[in-house]
Each structure stands twice: as C-alpha cells, then as structure tokens.
Structure 1
Amino acid sequence: MPNTVNTKVYAGRIKEKKIVMKSSSGGAFTAISDYFIERGDAVIAAVYEYDNYNLNYKIIQSKSDRDKAIGSKYMQSRVGNIYNEAYYWLKQNVDKKILFVGMGCQADGFRKFCEMKKIRDRVYIVDIVCHGMPSAKLWKEYAEYIENKYKGKIKYLTFKDKRNGWKNPSALVEIEGKEIMIKDYVNVFYSGCALRPYCYKCKYATIVRKTDLTIGDFWHIEETIPEFFEPEGTSLFLIHTEYGVELFNHIKQRLFYKKSDIKQCWQYNLERPTEKPKEREKFWNDYRRGGIFLIVKKYGLNSLFAKIKYRINKISRK
C-alpha cells in the first residue's frame, strides 16, 4: 500500500498538440494511460456507449479503445461490476497492473475494494476534479430528444470542442453528418439543479485525497503562471502518494510541465462541493410535470440560468 506524501502540484500538458486539442484540458489522461497500455497493463475508464446512451466503466488494453474514454462527459458514469472485473483480471494476469481513472467517489470506492481484496499494490488510482454528476436518465432523455428533433442517431459527442480555445469550449453532437450544438444541455448541467443529491455533500471536493493522483483543468493559469499558459489547455496534477510520485516520474518526459502550488491551482471544487441551488426542487417538479422538453426550454435556454452558469464558472476559476 502506498504511503501518502505532502500534496505535490504540477501544471502540465502532453507534448503532442493534436492530443491536447482532442482532450478536455492538457492531455493528462492520455499521457498516463499510454504508459500502462504500452507496458501491456490495463486501464479502467468510463466509455460512452452511443447505442444505449450510457457511460460505463470498461477494462481497456488498446489505445484505440482508450481514445473512446478521452474527454469530459456531463453525465453520471456507471461502475457496474467493474471492481470485480478488475480483481479477476489481475488474478488472471499475475505480472500485470491496472490504472483506474474516475470520479472521486468511484475512485475511492475502488481504493477501498482493492485494500479489502489485498491488491492495492497492483493498482494506481487517479481521480478527476469533479463539479458533480447529473442524472444519467436526464441525459438519455435529452439525447433521444435531440435525435428525434434532427431525425437521426448521434454518432459523435463532445462537451469540450476546443476550436475556439480551451476557455471557450463548444458542446456538440454529430447527427447525419451535421454538427448540432447542445449548449442548452450544458446550461442545465451548470445550473447545478440536475446533480445527484450526494454531490452537494461530496467529501471528495478537497485538495487532500487518498487516491494516488488527481487530474483536471488548471483553471486561471493565465493569471497565476502566465508564462506557462497555452490557449489549447493545461492539466492540473495533484500528487498524493508515493505511487503518484512514481507515476508522474514515469510520464513526465511525455509532458511540458512546471511545478506549482496549492495557492496557484485553487478552484472552487478543490475546496467544497457545488452548492445546492435553491431552484433544485422546482427543477425536478418541472421535470416530472413536463419532462425533458420543459427542462430544456425553461432551464437550458432561459437567460436567468445562462447567467447562473456564467456565475458558477467564474467562481470555479477564481
């Protein structure tokens, strides 16, 4: 079991610009997962399934499959039976290791499972700075609503297309070869009303964690480390354990990186969970009354909730 260390902070981005462009921030996930895949080890991460609209954790052993897990997904991911699948994979591959990448609650659940099963020494656990997870049902109904509206199946989905830069990402889907913006769904997400109840009490919204390493966007880097700012995005690395130190040392040659500190990297969800909006109960009453159509119309397009989205983003990046 790895020992904890005083949290170490780095800003970094993968050296290949094309990977940065298709990543949510600076390509941290790709840099870390490449190290495991190239060694014949396995990666566990959430992959979006277009046929059933679900975000499910999978065991990944190729870069092509790993690429399906790149990018932020504004929906709840499903753990399913992945903890047990990881355990049996390690039993069958006695000389191999596993990298787990997920949200704080899921990553810590995996940590506890590994300690109970006495396999902690064979896993590296990375969690992601999280704003909160919205209802999976809400996303499914929204995706079906978009498909019905545009008469086709979603073939591609991104919540952070960076053609206009990392600070101004576009959320879009592709249906029948046509790009369709889904800013209305993003506005619903950032209103905070659609998050799971436990997200408002999340104990993982903190700098100090029991995972090996935390990754996310390095917000406000243009102010705190302006000489390292790049408009395409930069990742935050928080290192918590000896395993995290070892892992970062293995991948740092793949990165442009710079040592930082807790003050420079501060963001809202590293100190406290997303605040429960006063409008949440009304939001779900509206949903029960009018379904996804009413939610999109009232909370996705309404100027008041667009302002809420802007305010939350502004606070989280200060």
Structure 2
Amino acid sequence: MVDLIDTIVYAGRIKDKSALMSSSSGGAFTALSDFFLKNDNAVVAAIYNYENHMTEFQMILDEKQRERAKGSKYMQSKPGYIYREAYRWLMENPKKELLFVGMGCQSDGFRKFTEIKGIRDRVYIVDIICHGSPSPKLWKEYAESIQRKDGKITYLTFKDKRNGWKSPTAYVKVNGAEKPIKDYVKVFYNRCALRPSCYECPYATTERKTDMTIGDFWHIEATIPDFYDPNGNSLFLIHTKRGEELFEKIKGDMDYRLSNTTQCWQANLEAPTKKSEQREEFWSDYQKKGIDFVMKKYGTVPMKTRIKNKLLKIIGGVRTK
C-alpha cells in the first residue's frame, strides 16, 4: 500500500517553451513522461488511432511515441489489454518502473490492479481532471462523416494554442487544410453526450488515491495573477508520498508555485458534470436521424444568439453560450 497524505497543490508549467506550446495546458504530461523515458522506464497513456478513430492506451517507450500521446482528447479512451501488458513489461524488466496516466476511473482501476498483483511500489499513477467521456461511437461516426465529405483526417487537436491557452482552437487536417470541429466540441461541453456513469463520477474531488492529479489550472489569472502565463498553466494535486517524490524529480524542469485547493477550485474538482436536460432528446435524435443531424442541432449556435453575442461584444457585455 502507498501512504496517502493531505493533498498538496502546485501551479506549474514546463520551462521548455516549444514543449509548452505543443501541450494542452502547462506541459505537465511532458515533464512527467520525460523523466521516465530518459531513464529507460515506461509510460502508459492514450494515443489517437487515425485508422479506426479510436483513442487507445499503449505502452510508450520513446519520445516519438510519447509525442503522439500529448494533447487533450474529447472522447473515451479504450484500455484494451493495457493492464496486462504493463504487468508483463514490469515482470520482464524487474529493475524498471512505469508511469500510468489516464482519467480518474481508469487510473484508479489500474491502482487496484497493481495492488492485487503486488506491484504498486513499482508504478506511479497519475490521473487527469475530467469533464466526462462521450460515447466513442459518437466521435467515430463524426470523424467518418468528415472523411466521406472531405477526405482522410491526418491530424487532430482539440486545444491548439495559437490564440492562447484560454481560447483553444479545435480542428482536424484533411488534405493539408484545417477544418474546424467546433460543433463536436460544443456537443461535448453542452453535457448531452456523456456516458451515464460520468454524471455520478466518484472522482470529481480533490481527494483521490492516485499519486497525482493533473489538469488545467483554470482561473489562475485571478487567483495567482503574478504567476499566470497566457501560453498555459498546469495544476498538480499530490495525494501520496510517492506523488511527492515524483514532483521532486520533475520540478527542475518546471516553473512552479505552491498553491491550495481554494485557489485551484474548478467545477469538476467538486462535483461530477451535471446531466443536460436535453440528453434524452439528443440521443433520441441521434438514433433516429444520425450524426450530421445532431451536430447541426446541438453543435451550432443559433443565428439569433450569434447576433446577440456580436452586439454584446461591441458594447462589452457577457456572451451567451
């Protein structure tokens, strides 16, 4: 067993500016995975598969493969046989260690697996703050719809930072051209498409049994303004002695600041995402009329709202979603 501690909170970002710009937030995953890969250890994380449009957990043993694992993925990742593969790798490499990075439910499942197998002291387990996971079928059909109309998707990002960390751009590349995927992102955030279990998630709290939780440090510009960086800021919640040791190992690559659970507050650290009142209607429409229909109905902002937002922007008001 690993000793739990009172949660320690840090704001941080990787010092390497190119790594920061290619990360979704402050480069926490890059800093953590760098430490393991440089020491010939292994990393387990989710990688997007452009052939089947699924996100799948893989064993990562080099930097090139790790680069494919970077970035937020607004879909559920498939664990497959990764628990067994990680166990086999550890058995074949008795002097090495492994970093596992996943959502709260996936990481806690791996924690329980390692305790049963007696290998908890050889793994470091990190989970990610999660809004919830939509059905993987939804994204797959959306991606396939794009490909039927425009051609093969060769690149995907949900959080390109060309307009800064607080205004991410989501797009796919098809035939070398960028195609926005704002409609899918809107569906993701309007809470219609998440799995039923996500609305009752037990991991939406600052108290967890993983070694560390990472995510965006939202509202840092208000709570720690002198440490804010428009190019990205990560949050680290440390839950165990092992997590403390891990942060010590990577902090030389980070700019960081001690914080607390009040400064880092965000909705999914207090409660699960609430179910949308439109959820049943959304799935009924999807079953009857398909992916293109629901993306148009639930993924676009009505013209009336767009005009209102433009007027509010001119006079300095608050936008409607």
Aligned to 1:245: 244
Aligned to 1:71: 71
- The CA distance in 1 between the partners of 2:9 and 2:299, in whole Å, is 36
2:187 equivalent to 1:181 = no
1:35-114 to 2 correspondences below 5 Å: 35-114=35-114
Aligned to 1:164: 163
Aligned to 1:129: 129
- The CA distance in 2 between the partners of 1:87 and 1:19, in whole Å, is 30
- The CA distance in 1 between the partners of 2:185 and 2:302, in whole Å, is 13
Q: Which amino acid aligns with 1:119?
A: I
Specify the SS of the correspondent of 2:7: strand
Q: Deviations over 1:139-164 (max 9, x none)?
A: 000001111121x1100000000000
Q: Deviations over 1:61-99 (max 9, x none)?
A: 101100100000000100111101111111100101110
2:279 equivalent to 1:280 = yes
Q: Which moved more, 1:141-150 or 1:38-47?
A: 141-150
Specify the SS of the correspondent of 1:68: helix
Please report how far the alpha carbon of residue 303 of structure 1 lies from its aligned counterpart in structure 2 after TM superposition. 3.1
Please report how far the alpha carbon of residue 17 of structure 1 lies from its aligned counterpart in structure 2 after TM superposition. 1.0
Q: Deviations over 1:100-119 (max 9, x none)?
A: 00000000000000000000
Please report how far the alpha carbon of residue 2 of structure 1 lies from its aligned counterpart in structure 2 after TM superposition. 2.0
Alignment coverage as a number of residue pairs = 306
Q: Which amino acid aligns with 2:143?
A: A
Spell out structure 1 runs of 4+ moving beyond 3 A: none
Which structure 2 segments of 5+ residues have no match?
310-321
Give TM-score, length-normalised by structure 2. 0.94
Which structure 1 segments of 5+ residues have no match?
311-318
Q: Which amino acid aligns with 1:23?
A: S
Q: Deviations over 1:181-225 (max 9, x none)?
A: 110110010011110110000000000000000000000000000
- The CA distance in 2 between the partners of 1:125 and 1:247, in whole Å, is 10
Q: Which amino acid aligns with 2:37?
A: I
Aligned to 1:22: 22
Give TM-score, length-normalised by structure 1. 0.95
Please report how far the alpha carbon of residue 287 of structure 1 lies from its aligned counterpart in structure 2 after TM superposition. 0.1
Q: What percentage of aligned pairs have identical amino acids?
A: 61
2:255 equivalent to 1:256 = yes
- The CA distance in 2 between the partners of 1:232 and 1:239, in whole Å, is 23
Please report how far the alpha carbon of residue 302 of structure 1 lies from its aligned counterpart in structure 2 after TM superposition. 3.8
1:188-227 to 2 correspondences below 5 Å: 188-227=187-226
2:286 equivalent to 1:296 = no
Q: Deviations over 1:12-44 (max 9, x none)?
A: 000011111111100000000000001110000
